[in-house]
Amino acid sequence: MIITDVEVRVFRTTTRRHSDSAGHAHPGPAHQVEQAMLTIRTENGDEGHSFTAPEIVRPHVIEKFVKKVLIGQDHRDRERLWQDLAHWQRGSAAQLTDRTLAVVDCALWDLAGRSLGQPVYKLIGGYRDKVLAYGSIMCGDELEGGLAAPDDYGRFAETLVKRGYRGIKLHTWMPPVSWAPDVKMDLKACAAVREAVGPDIHLMIDAFHWYSRTDALALGRGLEKLDFDWIEEPMDEQSMSSYKWLADNLDIPIVGPESAAGKHWHRAEWLKAGACDILRTGVNDVGGITPALKTMHLAEAFGVECEVHGNTAMNLHVVAATKNCRWYERGLLHPFLEYDDGFDYLKTLSDPMDAEGFVHVPDRAGLGEDIDFDFIENNRVR
């Protein structure tokens, strides 16, 4: 049970996802990027693994913080280990981020599951073994035949419904797209999708994240006419009072916060302030599965649903172990990409979706990621 080692393996993986100057993903030519696998090992050889960007687990962070907290400790003491790392953040000169807490916490949960031969959601306390997914479409672009016009979104939405999705979320156009942001164009894309899929498919929007209150109000009012389920992150989430104002002025549910710092503590303040109608959490956003569960339970105590941000196994296990969440966010999707091709370092998908739109939680131990260790070793760079 005692942690004896923390190891980072950095390897090359091929992807067609490219980030723009605002960090949003778009399709492009296949290229190689570096990925890191964090491994936490115990005295009896049990291991837990989790994946992240190499800079999140760079040597300074691992040697100065992670190893100092973990080595010599009982790996089952996830709550104390998480609290110890979280308390060190304040004095870390902003070097110990929520992303690092998240990857360490996920590897500890994976270790617990693998050592006991149980899926993580069953260790937490399973609620379901499958969940409806919404297709989370990439931000708009200026690619011919991509997501460059409202009808492109409509056509793509039709293919997603044929694939089995019962919910679709649009990320509309944002800078650096030359003419974005544009509320009217956002509403045209949403109208084209509603027209294309009909009244029974659930629709949501994740809009430009820095609209003014009046722009966000105009967008929300337009979405109410299109019977959208929710509006997400249309303004800077650092202004909680703006979201309180928007929620007071709109009927369509407001979902948030996704990107605001402060983990479950700040999300408690959003609920107390009435700044959202549906809360939001995400394993990477709040620092792990441990705080994501705290957020889910906090929302449940207020009778509030909490939607989980992001795909991958870590978020799927949170959704599978909680009741007050309707969807799994499967994405990001684009007409030029085949999401079901997965990752070259995983042998099978962590979030397989059937033709009825249900994602099934793999019945594999830990987070259930079917890791291709040979691929990682053969493509390892350090």
Q: Which residues make up the interface to Mg ion (CB under 5 A)?
A: 206, 258
DSSP 132-200: EEEEEEPPP---TTSSSSHHHHHHHHHHHHHHT-SEEEEE---TTSTT---HHHHHHHHHHHHHHH-TT
Q: Does 188 bind ligand LLH (CB under 6 A)?
A: no
Picked from ligand LLH, Mg ion, none, the partner binding residue 29 (CB below 5 to 8 A depending on kind) is none
- Shortest Å distance, C-beta 184 to Mg ion: 21
- Shortest Å distance, C-beta 185 to ligand LLH: 18
SS3 of 341-356: HCCCCECCCCCCECCC
Q: Does 23 bind ligand LLH (CB under 6 A)?
A: yes
- Shortest Å distance, C-beta 142 to ligand LLH: 17
Q: From CA 380, how far away is CA 382, in angstroms rounded?
A: 6
**N- to C-terminal Cα separation, the chain:** 27
- Shortest Å distance, C-beta 24 to ligand LLH: 4
Nearer to Mg ion, 169 or 264 (CB): 169
Residue 133: other Cβ atoms inside 10 A: 25
* Token duo for residue 9: 């393996």
Asked whether 147 and 137 are in contact (CB, 8 A), the reply is yes
Query: Per-residue x/- mask for ligand LLH, residues 206 to 235, rule CB under 6 A?
Result: x-----------------------------
Nearer to ligand LLH, 310 or 362 (CB): 310
Residue with tokens 């029974």: 200
- Shortest Å distance, C-beta 255 to ligand LLH: 9
Q: Does 309 bind ligand LLH (CB under 6 A)?
A: yes
| Helix ranges (DSSP H) in 198-253 | 213-225, 240-249
Of residues 96-135, those binding ligand LLH (CB under 6 A): none
Of residues 248-267, those binding ligand LLH (CB under 6 A): 258
Closest CA to 107 of 64, 59, 60, 56: 56
Picked from Mg ion, ligand LLH, none, the partner binding residue 20 (CB below 5 to 8 A depending on kind) is none
Which position among 161, 196, 293, 332 is part of the footprint of ligand LLH (CB under 6 A)? 332
Q: Does 330 bind ligand LLH (CB under 6 A)?
A: no
Which position among 6, 8, 9, 24 is part of the footprint of ligand LLH (CB under 6 A)? 24
47-69 burial code (b ≥16 CB/10 A, e <16): bbbbbbebebbeeebbeebbeeb
Footprint on this chain of ligand LLH (rule: CB under 6 A):
23-24, 136, 171, 206, 258, 309-310, 329, 332
